[in-house]
Amino acid sequence: MTARLKKTVVMVGMMGAGKSAVGRELARILGVDFVDSDAEIETAANATISEIFARDGEAFFRDKEARVIARLLGSTPSVLSVGGGAFLRADTRALISELGVSVWLKADLETLWQRVRRKDSRPLLRTANPRATLAGLMAEREPSYAQADLMVDARPEYTIEDTAQKTVEAILTRPDVLH
Ligand SMILES: Nc1ncnc2c1ncn2[C@@H]1O[C@H](COP(=O)(O)OP(=O)(O)O)[C@@H](O)[C@H]1O
Ligand SMILES: O=C(O)C1=C[C@@H](OP(=O)(O)O)[C@@H](O)[C@H](O)C1
Ligand SMILES: [Mg+2]
């Protein structure tokens, strides 16, 4: 696709929605760089997200996450996938709304659960009942995600490529995103 991005496309939504996987494919389709705030934090800290949570705590991670996102929004327009908690901060939401366009990748609980259940890379789900924790986070966070500029339904039958294509279609409805 020969298009030029005017703003960074920021993928938001729950853990397991596919922000990282779909974001990478979307960047490939648009021919722009892909960045993931979690990956940036891991590289900078030379530690995994789980290690950072265990060693420094969630509050430390959240501050680092907000700063990394602010920095990434200041560079060349790209596709930026953020961690599921990033869009809960009003200051981060405001910055994304000013400098980017946000896309809520919305998936149902069962789909999210099937995608996260086998991985232990998400420290917030290390509870006695991770499925219930996921459901609780989803209910609590939806009002924030609903403030995104665009919503894409990450249906369970869609492949990563299908959802990326749906995201392109959503972006095309916004005249301020592509040249
Ligand atoms: N159709 C699909 N859409 C998105 N992710 C999928 C799909 N099928 C399998 N996955 C996998 O689900 C997992 C969670 O996706 P990920 O991109 O890490 O989500 P997030 O970044 O939103 O937490 C990844 O391993 C991804 O490859
Ligand atoms: O939802 C969250 O609070 C988190 C989501 C994770 O990213 P993904 O949404 O990419 O899994 C990661 O940032 C961290 O484990 C916290
Ligand atoms: Mg991710």
pLDDT of residue 59: 98
Structural domain including 62 reads 8-172
The pLDDT score that the predictor gives to residue 93 is: 98
What is the CB < 6 Å shell around ligand 1?
Answer: 15-22, 81, 115, 158-160, 163
Does residue 3 fall inside a structural domain?
no
Query: Which residue has the CA at smallest separation from atom 12 of ligand 2?
Result: 83
Q: How many CB atoms lie within 10 A of CB 30?
A: 24
pLDDT in tens, 68-94: 999 999 999 999 999 999 999 999 999
Directed axis angle between helix 49-56 and helix 58-73, to 10°?
130
177 within domain boundaries: no
Tell me, yes or no, whether 87 lies in a domain: yes
The per-residue pLDDT for 179 is: 84
CA distances from 84 to 72, 145, 178 (A): 17, 9, 25
Q: Does residue 152 sit within a domain?
A: yes
CA of 16 to the centre of ligand 3 (A): 7
Residue 2 has pLDDT above 70, yes or no: no
What pLDDT score was predicted for residue 55? 97
pLDDT for residue 163? 98
pLDDT, one tens digit per residue, over 32-70 is: 999 999 999 999 999 999 999 999 999 999 999 999 999
Q: Evaluate: CB of 84 within 6 angstroms of ligand 2.
A: yes
pLDDT at 31: 96
Ligand index nearest the alpha carbon of residue 36: 3
Q: Tokens 């509870």 sit at which residue?
A: 127
Nearest Cα to 26, choosing from 171, 146, 175? Answer: 171
**How many folded domains does the chain comprise?**
1
CATH number at residue 36: 3.40.50.300
Rounded to an integer, what distance in angstroms lies between the CA atom of residue 17 and that of residue 20? 9
pLDDT at 121 over 70: yes
Average pLDDT, the chain: 97
